[in-house]
A = this chain, B = another copy of it.
Amino acid sequence: MDYRLYCFGESGNSFKAALMLSACGLEWTPVLVDYFNGETRGAAYRRDVNEMGEVPVLDDGARKLSQSGVILTALAERTGQFGWRDEDERLEGLRWLLFDNHKFTSYVATLRFLVALARTGETATTEFLRGRAEAAIGVVETHLAAADWLVGGRPTIADLSLSGYLFYPEDYGIDWGARPAIGRWLDRIRALPGWKPPYEMMPKAPAKRA
């Protein structure tokens, strides 16, 4: 199957899907989305690609799937890799995918976007997001201090989802050195077949035109 992934390099949600495709040994090509010049906010993108106005979107030739958690779930089911052994694992995995989208990636990614990409400097908003991000990071650090992987004692789409934004090189003021269990977990994920850094996996989006 010829997979095409609507994405751009700076998007950690895109990286989650890109890493899953590569780790499963699937062939895929990136379709670069001009995010900083508004492509995802335009009518054509919302009509033809994703009504939610987001990346990533995975086109398998027959249909388009959006939301990284949906793409990860569908690929796990199709390939039999990084998925669930039974109903308990499936619900536990969904719990971490939702926590990622609701709290973990959500606050970390938004903080990174403002500080490292939009370059707002430190503001009341980044201070607010930083507090929420640190709390969510603490939940993951505590869990990983007692387990090598988030669910089931082996790498799953829960790990690929929650780690997605943590492989980016930009500094936005989180002291990752103080989170050693997360650091060791990221090393384990880097050792998976197919792992490459985000900017080697997907092209960066063009800068905003003046």
Pair A106/B95 contact, Cβ less than 8 Å: no
Which of chain B's residues has its CB closest to A68's CB? B98
Mark contacts of A76-112 with chain B using CB atoms, 8 A cut-off: 1 yes-contact digit, 0 otherwise. 0000000000000001001101110111011000000
Pair A67/B94 contact, Cβ less than 8 Å: yes
In chain A, residues 121-155, which have Cβ atoms closer than 8 Å to a Cβ of chain B?
Answer: 123-125, 128, 135, 139, 142-143
Pair B51/A67 contact, Cβ less than 8 Å: no
What is the distance, in angstroms, from A73's C-beta to the closest C-beta of chain B? 6
Kindly state whether residue A44 has any CB partner on chain B within 8 Å.
no
Known: A51-B142, A51-B143, A139-B52. A95 touches B124 (CB 8 A): no
In chain A, residues 29-58, which have Cβ atoms closer than 8 Å to a Cβ of chain B?
Answer: 46, 51-53
Q: Compute how far the CA of A7 lies from the CA of B140 in the bound complex, rounded to whole angstroms.
A: 22
Q: How many residues of A contact B (CB 8 A)?
A: 31
Pair A98/B101 contact, Cβ less than 8 Å: yes
Q: Compute how far the CA of A139 lies from the CA of B51 in the bound complex, rounded to whole angstroms.
A: 7
Known: A91-B73, A94-B70, A125-B124. A102 touches B101 (CB 8 A): yes
Pair B53/A139 contact, Cβ less than 8 Å: yes
Pair A69/B94 contact, Cβ less than 8 Å: yes
Which of chain B's residues has its CB closest to A146's CB? B51
Pair B91/A70 contact, Cβ less than 8 Å: yes
Known: A51-B142, A124-B123, A139-B53. A102 touches B106 (CB 8 A): yes
Q: Which residues of B contact A14 (CB under 8 A)?
A: none
Q: Which residues of B contact A135 (CB under 8 A)?
A: 53
Q: Compute how far the CA of A65 lies from the CA of B124 in the bound complex, rounded to whole angstroms.
A: 35
Q: Which residues of B contact A91 (CB under 8 A)?
A: 65, 70, 73-74
Q: Compute how far the CA of A96 lies from the CA of B140 in the bound complex, rounded to whole angstroms.
A: 24
